[in-house]
Structure 1
Amino acid sequence: MYWIIILTLGVDQLFKYLVRNFMDYGQSISIINGFFQLTSHRNTGAAWGIFAGQKIFLISFAIIVIVIGLIYCRKVTDKLTRIAFGFFIGGAVGNVVDRLFFGEVTDMFEITFINYPIFNTADVFLVCGVILFFISTYKEKIRE
């Protein structure tokens, strides 16, 4: 699990570094015309901008969730659950790093065919972790 956290954090911070250093704020690069683009954006809040400007609250909440996840995962032996927590914790740490060092989170993925908030790699890993956790929980229920 720890190597997944480190890998996830590394990938997340690399993408954010590239966006911060090689794109102007607000600049968009079309990847799939009319569907998906890279857009340099910053967010001082959480998803959909909720809790905007509440840096201390967001960092504190994330650290609590990370610690609880690490404590819980030490007791877990299921491989899929440990991978899920690795993705989730790595994503959470990625966004905490941004808030600590930059005061905001760097976002870059924009789905243009729907009105959806711009998000980042840490968010992708967080969501993948949650989905894998639900799958592992469902598989466990089937085995019972």
Structure 2
Amino acid sequence: MFIISLAIIAVLTAIDQLIKFAVVKNIEIGEIIKVVKFGSHDILSLTHITNDGAAWSIMSGKTWFLIGIPVAVIIAALVYMYKKRGGSRLQTISLSLVIAGGIGNLIDRIRIKEVVDYILFEPIDFPIFNFADICVVVGAVLFCIYIIFLEGKGQKYRSSESETEKADNNEQA
């Protein structure tokens, strides 16, 4: 499953970079293209901006910090995934999403010192984001679900199963 997760990471990172390339080539900075409307209400738009900080431009200008933290998280996640490579598919997919998103934004930070953002969700005042951000958030939520509800459940089941077998063997003896 570890090799499959590396393939997932590569594909998602490539998708992120291809979308960003298309945005940079086809949408002027600040231009807004309405994509989804519901009646007279704008729901989703594409716009091209760059951000040298994190969400809501926090830590703007702290490029080395915003490079260092994702590198550490990516390495830690890869090591964890490798050690748990026989584990849950949900765990593997969630970490693959987080890693791919981290790499996608890391490429931007290293290459152009800022991140290309383009998705504008209009109904609420929310920062403009990108595909890599979606990968990180969805992956983090799925990983939290895995940790809270699933981690150790299979192990507990296996250990209770072996305890039952031991008890049966003791009764037979």
TM range (shorter): over 0.9
Aligned counterpart in structure 2 of residue 115 of structure 1, from 112, 125, 129:
125
Secondary structure in 1 matching 2:25: helix
Q: Which runs of 5+ in 1 are unaligned?
A: none
CA deviation profile, 1:98-133 (whole Å, cap 9, x unmatched): 001111100000011110000000000001101111
Partner of 2:103: 93
Question: Normalised by the size of structure 1, how large is the TM-score?
Answer: 0.95
Q: TM-score when scaled to structure 2? A: 0.80
Q: CA RMSD in A?
A: 1.3
Partners in 2 of 1:138 and 1:63 — Cα distance?
25
Match of 1:36 in 2: 44
Match of 2:148 in 1: 138
The separation in 1 between residues aligned to 2:76 and 2:95, in whole angstroms, is 11
Equivalent residue of 1:35, what SS?
A: strand
Query: How many positions carry a matched residue from both structures?
Result: 144
- What's the counterpart of residue 20 of structure 2? 16
Unaligned runs of 5+ in 2: 157-173
**Once the two structures are aligned, what percentage of the paired residues are identical?**
34
Larger Rg computed on CA atoms? 2
Cα distance in 1 for partners of 2:61, 2:120 equals 22
State the distance in 2 between where 1:75 and 1:131 align: 21
Partner Cα separation in structure 2 for residue 16 and residue 73 of structure 1: 27
Structure number with higher relative contact order (C-alpha < 8 Å, ≥ 6 residues apart): 1
Taking the aligned partners of 1:135 and 1:52, their CA distance within structure 2 comes to 31
Within the alignment, does 1:69 sit opposite 2:73 as a pair?
Answer: no
